[in-house]
Structure 1
Amino acid sequence: MNPPPHSRRPVCPRCLRPQPTCVCALARPTAHRTEVLVLQHPHEQRQAKNSVTLLRLSLARCDVVVGEHFPPEALQALLHRPGRDTRLLYPDVPAAPAPAAAPVTPGAPVRLVVIDATWRKSLRMLLVHPALAALPRLALHTPPPTRYRAIRAARRADQVSTLEATVQALAMLEGPSFDGHPLLDAFGEFVAALASQRRPGH
């Protein structure tokens, strides 16, 4: 993952954010079995309030690939790994119906694909990439209220950050063996810090 374009301020070599907004101290190493692939829209990479950096630093098996349009062969190589059941974290929507698929076998190795983008841009990425739209889906069930609202508006009550959605998906896939609470608490600290910077006097 490369630093955000046209960033002229000194950046942290680990989290790739400007030094004043470094999030390395918030990283919470979190044990997990599932491979996570984040396809990040370029516009999200430039957002200071984006949650993916903290997610990447905290999950050992998390790859982030920035892009909006991917060559078919390159995308296939990204999506699939031998011996792993690939699932796309995305709801079943009329514009892009979810294909029929058997549920994930408990304990089976999974590669979880996550799109990091606004709702409109994520749907566009899904529609222009048939290989992405053909993946079996994993949908969240009534996610808890997002901690993101302090810094980013959500149109619907079930909209959450990419970090929160991924943590809930990992809990669904891995059960009690996965503990995402420390990472969610770190994300809460991240949101609170950004919110305080927006207040007068900061």
Structure 2
Amino acid sequence: MNASLLSRPGRCAQCQRPLARCLCPLIPSLEAACPVLILQHPSEARHALNTARLAYLGLKGTELWVGEQFEELGARLAQAHRPVLLFPGPQAKVAGSTGPEEKPDLIVVPDGTWRKARLILHRNPVLQTLPYWMLPDGEASRYRLRKAPDPQAVSTLEAIVRLMQIMEPERDFRPLLRPFEQLIEEQIQAMGLDTYQRNYPTSR
């Protein structure tokens, strides 16, 4: 499903936020260090904190496909010479630990909860034939409205930003996080500081 088909009345056609809280002025336009294909579970497309869409809008060379099963995925992967799958596992190599000869020309990123991301892998077996990459340990996620089971778990946007930074350390991809941080602040304000601190006592 094409990402452009997700617009709803009363909302910005790009960032999908209510028009009064449009995030587009905060979204940069950066060249990707490597083309990215995000495979987004449909439930994430409707989520208020849709970080994959922020990556799609702010990073040139990014594709956003929405669904569980993708008939055209095999043909898309065949267009790449060295596609990789960003997904942890015992067989995964740590991003940045490989030589330049193994630099990918397409990074596939499943977007959803762990259960739904695994469902995407199950429904699209061709993904399981790709080399797996995982992120090295890093700082805690800025996603302060999520209780992640793993302290190293990050949002899709954060994962992509970290990966771009690893691939091209001389560039600064942090501007991609600006609309994400604004979105978090808006959500905290909407729920109220007391409610936020009561439900997320360890967040900063």
TMscore range, shorter length: 0.7 to 0.9
What CA distance in whole angstroms lies between the structure 2 residues aligned with 1:34 and 1:199? 39
Question: Secondary structure of 1:114's match?
Answer: strand
Identity of aligned residues (%): 34
What CA distance in whole angstroms lies between the structure 1 residues aligned with 2:102 and 2:123? 32
Q: Is structure 2 residue 172 aligned with structure 1 residue 172?
A: no
Give the Å deviation of 1:81: 2.4
Q: Pick the aligned partner of 1:126 from 121, 125, 129.
A: 121
The corresponding residue for 2:187 is: 194
Provide structure 1 residue ranges, at least 5 long, that are not aligned to the other structure: none
Q: Pick the aligned partner of 2:141 from 129, 137, 146.
A: 146
Q: Pick the aligned partner of 1:92 from 89, 92, 95.
A: 89
> Measured at CA, do residues 17 and 104 of structure 1 come closer, stay the same or move farther in structure 2, by a change above 3 Å?
farther
What CA distance in whole angstroms lies between the structure 2 residues aligned with 1:123 and 1:130? 11
Give the Å deviation of 1:63: 0.7
Letter paired with 2:150: R
The corresponding residue for 2:77 is: 79
* Equivalent residues of 2:92, 2:134 under 8 A apart: no
Question: Secondary structure of 2:54's match?
Answer: helix
Letter paired with 2:176: L
The corresponding residue for 1:49 is: 49
Q: Give a deviation string over 1:16-60, Cα, whole Å, max 9, x none.
A: 333234221220222323101100000000001121222111111
Letter paired with 2:6: P
Question: Secondary structure of 2:63's match?
Answer: strand
What CA distance in whole angstroms lies between the structure 2 residues aligned with 1:138 and 1:20? 39
Q: Give a deviation string over 1:159-202, Cα, whole Å, max 9, x none.
A: 110000011111222232x31122224422221122212217xx
The corresponding residue for 2:150 is: 156
What CA distance in whole angstroms lies between the structure 1 residues aligned with 2:39 and 2:19? 25
Question: Secondary structure of 2:83's match?
Answer: strand
What CA distance in whole angstroms lies between the structure 2 residues aligned with 1:32 and 1:104? 19
RMSD: 2.5
> Measured at CA, do residues 108 and 140 of structure 1 come closer, stay the same or move farther in structure 2, by a change above 3 Å?
closer
Letter paired with 2:53: T
> Measured at CA, do residues 23 and 39 of structure 1 come closer, stay the same or move farther in structure 2, by a change above 3 Å?
same
What CA distance in whole angstroms lies between the structure 1 residues aligned with 2:165 and 2:12? 30
TM-score normalized with structure 1 length: 0.82
The corresponding residue for 2:197 is: none
> Measured at CA, do residues 185 and 21 of structure 1 come closer, stay the same or move farther in structure 2, by a change above 3 Å?
closer
Which aligned runs of 4 or more in structure 1 are off by greater than 3 angstroms?
Answer: 106-109
What CA distance in whole angstroms lies between the structure 2 residues aligned with 1:133 and 1:126? 7
Question: Secondary structure of 2:32's match?
Answer: coil
Give the Å deviation of 1:87: 1.0
- Structure having the higher strand fraction is 2
The corresponding residue for 1:11 is: 11
Q: Give a deviation string over 1:119-175, Cα, whole Å, max 9, x none.
A: 1111121123221111111110113211112x2221110111000001111122223
